[in-house]
Structure formats: C-alpha cells, structure tokens
Amino acid sequence: MREDLEGLSLKEEGKGARGLQGGLSSNEGQRNFVLKEAEMITEEGFHAIQALKRQGLKKKKVAMLLGLDRKTVRKYWARGKWEVKKRVKRGWKLEPYREYLLKRVPDTDYSAAVCFLDLKRLGYTGCYETVKEFVRPLREERRRLEEATIRFETGPGKQAQVDWGSTRIELSGNPMRIRLFAMVLGFSRRIYVRAELDEKLPAFLSSHEQAFEWFGGLTETVLYDNPKTVCLHRDFEGKTVNWNPQFLDFARYWGYTPKLCKPYRARTKGKVESGIKYVKRNFFALYGRSFSSLEELNRKLETWSLEIADQRIHGTTHEKPSVRFEGERLLPLEGKSPYRIETAITRTIPSDALVVYKTNRYSVPWPLVGKEAVLKESGERLKIYVEGSLAADHPLLGGRYQQNVIPGHYEGILRPKPRPDLKRLSSVSLWAQATEEVEIRDLASYEVLVAGLAAEASVAGGAQ
C-alpha cells in the first residue's frame, strides 16, 4: 500500500489537485482514513499524509486532499512511524478510590448513585456510568452469595436467633400495626413470640427476659440482624463493632454472647425468619386479627406456642420441638432479678461545669469541660459518666431550675486576677504621685537672693 501512496502525484492524476481530491476525499475514502473518533486516523491515512508530505505539499493542501481536519494532519505530520496509541482503560479515574469503594459499597446497599455522590465530595471527576459499572459486579456477587446460603445447624444450648416482624390487627376496635418479637432456639426450634407496640430498647430487652423465663434458661450465644438497639455501627467484615452500650450491658448481665449477621445477609438467621412467617400464616389464621388488648393477644400467643408450634413435626428436624427441647442444655437463670433499664442522655459539659438534666443543673469536675457526658437516672440518683468512667454522682433534685454543686469539683481551678479599684484610684492625685518632694523656704531668703544678683549685675556693668 505504501508503494501505491508513494506514486501519488498531481501530475500523474492529470487533473491537478481537484483530481486527487476527488480520488481520495470521497465519503468512501474518508471511511478508510478516519476512525469514529475525529482525531484518530487509520494506518492507511497516516501513510497517505507522509507520502503527500514527501511530495512537498503543505499541511493545508494535504488536509483538503484527504478530507481531514488541519489539526489532525498537524498531529501526524512530524511522526516518523505509525504507532497505535493504547486506549486508556475505561474507569481508570476510579483507581484512587478503589479501596474506599470496596468498603463503602456494602454500607450503601450497593447503590451506585449514593457512591457517586460520595466520590464527588472526595474530588472524583469521572462520570456516573463508570461508578455504576464498578458497583454492578459487586451487587451481582452479593445476590449470588445470598442465594447460596448454606443451612447451619447448632448444637444443644449453643445458639438462639432473635428478630422482629410486624403485622396489622385490631386492638379494642382500633386498627394498628403491632410488632412481633420472636426468639427461636437453634437446636430444638422451640419459639417464643411476644407482641409489642414498638421495637424500642425497653420493649426489646423486656421481651428477651420474658423469653428466658419461658424457656427456663438461655443459650450461650444469640444471633441478631443489625438493629440500632443492638449495634450502633459496624464494618462489613464485623471486625469493628460499636455496640449499643445499654444492650451490651444487658447481655453481660445475663451472661450470653451476642452475635451479628453480616450486613445484607439476613438469611443466616433463617430459623427465626421462618418462625415469624409461620406465626403470621398459622396463628392469625386460627385466632383472627381482632383482640381486646395486647395482654389478650400475648396470652393467646403463649397458648398457641404450647399447643400448636411446639407439637408440630418440624420440616427440617422431622421432630416435635417439644421433644427435641428435652435435649437442649440451656444456661440457668440463677434467680437473677430483671435487668434495670436506666434512661441515658448525652450532654456536652459547658464552661461552668454544670450539666442540665430536667431543668436542674449538676456539677462535674471542671477539667472535663467540653467533653461528652452520659447522664443516667438510677433510682433516686443521677450518675454522670465521661468516657465510660463515673465522673459524678448526685441525688436527684425534686424541683425545677435548681442546682447541686459539689465544691470538690472546682478545686484547683485558676481564678482570674482581681481588677483594680477604679473608684479608689480616682480619689488619688496622679500628679502628686509623679512629682518629687519640694523643700518649702521662707520668702526672706528669696529677697536676699534677688538683691545679691542685682549687685553682681551693677559691678559687671561698671567694668564695661
């Protein structure tokens, strides 16, 4: 091909520039020289530029003959040989953010839109489509793993699973949505179900204790999803878990170890989820959805658990839960009283070291100013914790807008220097303080001095 191009000349064409232009700048010819991108040409186009250059044509004439932009001709004019420029791999702008995305994507529930907004705040200048292409295979992998969940069986007394469900019923003729707390023993599949009006921490912990009493003991571990009542925050792998401190204290009190499902892998606690579905399908089909009170509903749930749920042949174990329960080895309750839930409130300690609780103010040691304090009401006392340690313990004040100050909380505090008494200073003559003491003389001594000076002056005048 190169030899053919070398033979191109205006004379050989016999038609001048117009003839060569007609032969090389047709639509068909341009498709041979120009790729889809405006500034990229084929190898044939490159050699055509070089051949015409060697014949002494100017860039403008070459561009016209080949049907190319002058900038494109200029780009390839000085190159000595044809080189295929490697195309940059699409998505390269994400490389600095790769590790961040791998950790962040699961927290966003594999949302490319959320990840894109996060990256823009971090300085990413690429497009949304690139982020979407990055997230898509991760999302597919998550789906594949969820579908491939393997059933995990636990030994006697080893694990229970806890979860919430919800459904709509009528209480005293009023339609409402109630919450269903469920605990399932992993080995025997016995289930305890309790209806609550909400999923807040007091109801959550109270339902646990009702379940412990129902079973007559508790398992070594309890598996949870990731609700805020259990876990405030965690990483995807579970290496760093920020537990709800009140819940963690509850678990330590009863002596069991809480465990968490991996985020978005709720099927790992499939026993309790299946139990909730069973309650909705079976219990409400038998007992209806209208109850006079929450207490009546919970009594009927207990009856249903004993007479129906415990006596069925379970689809996985092929045994009755009540029979299999005889092999459970639960930890004893040891006669412990119910866990006392303390109300906790967070405050930032102000500059006067007095934190406010229910309109009253309570002192803390002054070096703690500016730190976060956790206030817990325990019986008739208010306990104030800073960084997990007890900083102050006060009796609760009964009235409003009062304060309880412990003097020791202010020991060692630096006091400001006393200001000068301006009133006292205004009565003192500053001029008198600034001048030296002056001797007081008799007026006769001044007359003698003046007479002597006059005599000296007359003598000096006569000498002249």
The residue whose two tokens read 């006669």 is 335
Share of the chain above pLDDT 90, in %: 36
Q: 463 pLDDT exceeds 60? A: no
Ramachandran quadrant class, 7 (left: phi over 0; alpha: psi -120 to 50; beta: rest): alpha
> What pLDDT, on a 0 to 100 scale, did the predictor assign at position 237?
60
Q: Find out whether 121 and 94 touch, Cβ atoms under 8 Å.
A: no
Alpha-carbon gap, residue 351 to 42, rounded angstroms: 74
Q: 97 pLDDT exceeds 50? A: yes
Share of the chain above pLDDT 70, in %: 72
Q: Name the pLDDT band for 36 (thresholds 50, 70, 90).
A: very low
> What pLDDT, on a 0 to 100 scale, did the predictor assign at position 405?
94
Amino acid at 102: L
Encode pLDDT of 297-343 as tens digits.
999 999 999 999 999 998 888 899 999 999 999 999 988 899 877 66
Q: Measure CA 435 to chain center.
A: 72
Q: Which residue has the higher pLDDT, 7 or 43?
A: 43
Alpha-carbon gap, residue 195 to 178, rounded angstroms: 7
Mean pLDDT over all residues of the chain?
79
Highest-scoring range by mean pLDDT, 103-107, 213-217, 346-350: 213-217
How many other C-beta atoms are found inside a 10 Å radius of the C-beta of residue 127? 13
pTM over 0.85: no
Q: Find out whether 221 and 259 touch, Cβ atoms under 8 Å.
A: yes
Q: Find out whether 317 and 328 touch, Cβ atoms under 8 Å.
A: no
**Contacts for 196 with CB less than 8 Å, ≥ 6 apart:** 178, 179, 180, 181, 203, 207, 294
Alpha-carbon gap, residue 128 to 106, rounded angstroms: 18
**Structural tokens at position 326:** 């005889």
> What pLDDT, on a 0 to 100 scale, did the predictor assign at position 459?
54
Encode pLDDT of 356-391 as tens digits.
998 999 999 999 999 999 898 876 788 998 887 899
Alpha-carbon gap, residue 330 to 157, rounded angstroms: 5
**Angle at CA 85, nearest 5°, toward 80 and 87?**
175
Alpha-carbon gap, residue 321 to 190, rounded angstroms: 5
Q: Measure CA 159 to chain center.
A: 30
Rounded mean pLDDT of 416-436? Answer: 51
**Structural tokens at position 174:** 């009023």
CB burial of residue 420 (10 Å; 0-12, 13-18, 19+): exposed
Least-confidence region, from 139-153, 184-198, 376-390: 139-153
Q: Name the pLDDT band for 55 (thresholds 50, 70, 90).
A: confident
Q: 10 pLDDT exceeds 60? A: no
What is the sign of the dihedral through the CA atoms of 371, 375, 381 and 387? negative
HEC-encoded secondary structure of the chain: CHHHHHCCCHHHHCCHHHHHHHHHCCHHHHHHHECCCCCCECHHHHHHHHHHHHCCCCHHHHHHHHCCCHHHHHHHHCCCCCCCCCCCCCCHHHHHHHHHHHHHHHHCCCCHHHHHHHHHHCCCCCCHHHHHHHHHHHHHHHHHHHHCCCCCCCCCCCEEEEEEEEEEEEECCEEEEEEEEEEEECCCCCEEEEEECCCCHHHHHHHHHHHHHHHCCECCEEEECCCCCCEEEECCCCCCEEECHHHHHHHHHHCCEEEECCCCCHHHHHHHHHHHHHHHHHHHHHHCCEECCHHHHHHHHHHHHHHCHHHCCCCCCCCCHHHHHHHCCCECCCCCCCCCCCEEEEEECCCCCEEEECCEEEECCHHHCCCEEEEEEECCEEEEEECCEEEEEEECCCCCCCEECCHHHHCCCCCCCCCCCHHHHHCCCHHHHHCCCCCCCCHHHHHHHHHHHHHHHHHHHHHC
Q: 394 pLDDT exceeds 90? A: yes
**Structural tokens at position 21:** 């232009």
Q: 63 pLDDT exceeds 60? A: yes
**Angle at CA 93, nearest 5°, toward 90 and 98?**
105
Q: Find out whether 46 and 37 touch, Cβ atoms under 8 Å.
A: no
> What pLDDT, on a 0 to 100 scale, did the predictor assign at position 462?
54
- N-terminal to C-terminal alpha carbon distance within the chain: 131
Q: Find out whether 190 and 250 touch, Cβ atoms under 8 Å.
A: no
